Structure 1
């Protein structure tokens, strides 16, 4: 399974730097992204993590490939975290009771890579735990847009996961770039993000995190290509917005308000 997370500015290796070291990443200001969720995932054979984001007090969006496993899968959602390894009073740990994977999700080519998780209890909304608005069906983010991606994933190719939330700014690319790399790229449901010049990208462990453009979640960290580190592919939320609304109605008829995060 391809899990993705935060690579940042690579540089020319100096003799003391160590092979494969990646530097230039940026720590996010503590609790500056109160919509972020850390998913602890347990299966019979392994434990791992993904990202996600709160869109309602009882609902988190993430990538389908994070939970689309055979056998028993348990997911615990941690909200309000900055140092995920620390004992922060701001953290709320809530099990996911159910989740709805898109019925046309394909593990082979990562099409329709989206899942909506229903929390067993509502999150307590406060300054450290807030929702984020998602792109509506008619809202599109175009080439050249600068967006933010954050997560607790690997910060180097040696497998070092971040303890604190990291962030990186990425540019939306011309979709022809991803189309040239893979015939599986789908314009209507995917976003091509990140360029080789900036050498920034999500990496292992960041899957499921949001691509935030102009204070709205427009994408979900999905997958990359074995041949190249850049660009990466994000699930296009606007394409799935009607499906998301339909699933939320299955949670219950009553609409649960959640004031969206704003800077």
Structure 2
């Protein structure tokens, strides 16, 4: 399979340090993605933002590079938001008590880019705040599957930000497309995704958000290639599902039910 011919020469892999908003997407219907989480990450005087998603009333999944910072880090998770700049009655703001970055996470090449955050208190599950199921260890998306990504990141390369949640539909691509751009691509733990015909993509600020296929979270927005919107790399959740379940048990030995989101 030949990659898109307009791709530029690979310069470097760029971890989307809090990839911004969706490019080429559309505004999501208000509260149509009730699993979405907005992470405000304070590190000294610096404040950055990432996406994430609720998988249990007390647990949020996101990208490790969002949390990969020196010094004291404080994270506030906002659930139930549509316009993140407004104080909507639907919003729940909960501090993250702790988080676990995958022990094999690599800042240099973006491998194992996954983090699990434990909320200080359980979220109240309602019509605006719900969990999403994650892919099981034996579940894999197929090439050509059309999936949805949501986020509050940049909506253009110029740095235009969106206050409301945006979403975009992206296709799962052949692994070879990403492999030809980087030797660091790992098929077993990453998914190659993107729109090769139109300028549609996640971008700065979208990191940590979910790739939702068939009503399940199959991927996590991880990183892209410099000067190229296509393709993008997502962390493959099914590969890490055993690790996720192990951490959830450490968070709480009791099973915490959460009715999963469904369209």
> Under a length normalisation based on structure 1, what TM-score does the superposition of the two structures give?
0.92
1:151 matched to 2:151? The reply is yes
Q: Deviations over 1:27-57 (max 9, x none)?
A: 0000000000000000014101000000000
1:185 matched to 2:203? The reply is no
Tell me the number of residue pairs that the alignment of Structure 1 and Structure 2 aligns.
Answer: 248
Other-structure match for 1:20: none
1:230 matched to 2:244? The reply is no
Other-structure match for 1:12: none
Other-structure match for 1:37: 37
Other-structure match for 1:13: none
User: SS in structure 1 opposite 2:249?
Assistant: helix
Is the Cα–Cα contact under 8 Å of residues 141 and 213 in structure 1 kept in the other structure?
yes
Query: How far is 1:5 from its partner?
Result: 3.8
Other-structure match for 1:18: none
Q: Relative to structure 1, is the Cα distance of residues 7 and 78 closer, same or farther in structure 2, using a 3 angstrom cutoff?
A: closer
Q: Relative to structure 1, is the Cα distance of residues 218 and 57 closer, same or farther in structure 2, using a 3 angstrom cutoff?
A: same
Other-structure match for 1:48: 48
Q: Where in structure 1 are there 5+ consecutive unaligned residues?
A: 10-24
In 2, Cα distance between the equivalents of 1:30 and 1:146? Answer: 22
Other-structure match for 2:3: none
Query: How far is 1:142 from its partner?
Result: 1.1
Aligned CA RMSD, in angstroms, stands at 1.0
User: SS in structure 1 opposite 2:179?
Assistant: helix
Is the Cα–Cα contact under 8 Å of residues 132 and 261 in structure 1 kept in the other structure?
yes
Q: Name whichever of 144-153 and 189-198 sits farther off.
A: 189-198
User: SS in structure 1 opposite 2:150?
Assistant: strand
In 2, Cα distance between the equivalents of 1:247 and 1:213? Answer: 24
Runs of 4+ in 1 over 4 A off after TM superposition: none
In 2, Cα distance between the equivalents of 1:134 and 1:236? Answer: 10
1:8 matched to 2:23? The reply is yes
In 2, Cα distance between the equivalents of 1:243 and 1:226? Answer: 30
In 2, Cα distance between the equivalents of 1:136 and 1:49? Answer: 28
In 2, Cα distance between the equivalents of 1:197 and 1:37? Answer: 29
Q: Where in structure 2 are there 5+ consecutive unaligned residues?
A: 1-14
Other-structure match for 1:198: 198
Other-structure match for 1:258: 258
Matches within 5 A, 1:24-173: 25-173=25-173
Is the Cα–Cα contact under 8 Å of residues 130 and 258 in structure 1 kept in the other structure?
yes
Query: How far is 1:76 from its partner?
Result: 0.3
In 2, Cα distance between the equivalents of 1:252 and 1:193? Answer: 34
Q: Name whichever of 223-232 and 204-213 sits farther off.
A: 223-232
